């Protein structure tokens, strides 16, 4: 049964959403070192041990991707095409535009937008194979103009392979875990290195990304998934359904309801029990509800909003859209009762690759802007340089960098 707590308990409630780093690092670091030092030899060794590679080729042939697409049901293909179109439309709107103009007489400034050269998309395929994650990462990279997209997935389902073909992806490796992250970060004879790795994964994947950040760009280190629903009133069936949609991901997933209504809190708790009775994924969702989820009853919605911003949830469902101006921290926000988190997971448009564990205090979800670089441009006329010269030379000499100052003075002395 889910816990129902009063707002007085919120301050002392510890929401531990971070994995045991020491435990996972002990396993992951030798794998990373092995791939770094032995390349393909280690990569194939780990792929056979952890991914069940056997005698299969690491690189999945284009013919296999095409065959998987041909085998997709009409409904699955239509669903994928709908999601691709919506994700691409939103990703295009998120791309930054170039700018180059005169900010003051003779001082032209701006930036150009250039895509990364190569991106690695990690697609989970364990308990739940996730073709949606392929779409939510690769489509963004394609929209940004990334010329090389490498996909890794340990045991890809036919739907994942078929979606790769629909996207025109040809570099797809049957590879997972820390070994996949290390291969994309360092490069081996079989898997060329990439500039950035994106996509969620299990705790071992998250640890590998954490350890290799700096050797390669990453989106963020993702932990257990979470949803926070903020509702003073509402339909208990809808709220419970949204909470279970998150809880079924993993036993460590968190489903949270913040409300001012004790009646709604109890109704949702009862509804969770009813819906769990015939939920096929109840074995996972039950443990998530009992161990990692809770309902908090506050005196006012203002207090609930303060707690929400402190928690910085991955998914935030606002049943009252008027609260949106008060939200400072969230990975993504769903407004109103007709906007389920499931829509964002699959087909609404924004990427479902989102910051967890409070990281939404620092950034939002993955976007097409994560796949490009903004390169600044500076152009000064002689008069503009002359005007800036006193500030430049004074600051340079204050730092003891005489050559910096002379590089300006040699120009204006002509």
Question: What are 116's two structure tokens?
Answer: 């990364």
Single out the catalytic residue among 165, 249, 315, 352. Answer: 315
Return the DSSP state at 129: B
Q: Which domains does the chain have, with CATH numbers?
A: 3-18+224-349 (3.40.50.1980), 21-96+116-222 (3.40.50.1980), 381-412 (no CATH)
- Per residue in 342-355, pLDDT (tens digit) is 999 999 999 999 99
Cβ within 8 Å of residue 245, ≥6 positions away = 227, 340, 341, 342
Residue 14 has pLDDT above 80, yes or no: no
Rounded Cα distance between 134 and 122, Å, is 8
- pLDDT tier, 126 (very low <50, low <70, confident <90, very high otherwise): confident
Annotation marks residue 315 as catalytic: yes
Residue 31 has pLDDT above 90, yes or no: yes
Query: How is 51-119 classified by DSSP, letter by letter?
Result: S--TTS-SBPPHHHHHHHHHTS-HHHHHHHHHHHHHHHHHHHHHSPPPEEEEEETTEEEEEEEEE-SEE
Rounded Cα distance between 243 and 276, Å, is 11
Residue 413 has pLDDT above 90, yes or no: no
Single out the catalytic residue among 171, 248, 271, 314. Answer: 314
Residue 114 has pLDDT above 70, yes or no: yes
pLDDT at 16 (0 to 100): 58
Kind plus residue range of the DSSP H or E element containing 398: helix 382-398
pLDDT at 20 (0 to 100): 64
pLDDT at 12 (0 to 100): 64
């Amino acid at each position: 049964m889910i816990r129902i707590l009063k707002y007085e308990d919120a301050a002392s409630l510890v929401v531990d959403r971070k994995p045991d780093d020491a435990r996972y690092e002990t396993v992951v670091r030798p794998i990373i070192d092995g791939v770094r030092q032995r390349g393909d030899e280690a990569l194939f060794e780990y792929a056979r041990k952890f991914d069940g590679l056997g005698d299969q080729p690491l690189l999945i042939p284009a013919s296999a991707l095409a065959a998987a697409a041909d085998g997709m049901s009409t409904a699955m293909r239509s669903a994928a095409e709908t999601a691709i179109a919506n994700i691409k439309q939103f990703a295009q709107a998120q791309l930054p535009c170039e700018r180059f103009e005169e900010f003051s007489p003779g001082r032209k400034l701006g930036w150009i937008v250039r895509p990364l050269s190569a991106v690695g998309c990690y697609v989970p395929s364990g308990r739940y194979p996730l073709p949606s994650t392929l779409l939510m990462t690769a489509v963004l990279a394609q929209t940004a103009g990334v010329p090389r997209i490498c996909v890794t997935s340990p045991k890809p389902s036919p739907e994942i392979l078929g979606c790769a073909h629909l996207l025109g992806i040809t570099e797809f490796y049957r590879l997972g875990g820390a070994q996949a992250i290390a291969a994309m970060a360092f490069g081996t004879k079989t898997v060329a290195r990439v500039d950035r790795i994106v996509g969620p994964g299990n705790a071992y994947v998250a640890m590998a990304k954490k350890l290799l950040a700096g050797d390669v760009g990453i989106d963020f280190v993702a932990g257990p998934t979470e949803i926070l629903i903020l509702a003073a009133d509402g339909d208990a069936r809808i709220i419970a359904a949204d909470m279970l949609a998150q809880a079924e991901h993993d036993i460590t997933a968190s489903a949270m309801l913040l409300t001012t209504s004790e009646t709604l809190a109890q109704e949702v708790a009862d509804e969770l029990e009813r819906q769990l009775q015939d939920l096929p994924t109840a074995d996972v969702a039950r443990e998530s509800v009992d161990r990692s989820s809770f309902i908090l009853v506050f005196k006012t919605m203002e207090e609930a909003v303060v707690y929400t911003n402190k928690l910085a949830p991955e998914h935030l469902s606002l049943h009252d859209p008027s609260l949106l101006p008060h939200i400072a921290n969230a990975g993504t926000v769903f407004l109103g009762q007709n906007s389920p988190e499931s829509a964002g997971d699959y087909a609404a448009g924004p990427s479902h690759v989102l910051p967890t564990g409070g990281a939404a205090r620092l950034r939002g979800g993955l976007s097409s802007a994560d796949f490009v670089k903004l390169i600044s441009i500076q152009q000064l006329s002689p008069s503009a340089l002359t005007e800036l010269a006193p500030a430049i030379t004074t600051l340079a000499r204050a730092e003891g960098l005489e050559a910096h100052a002379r590089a300006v003075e040699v120009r204006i002395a002509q």
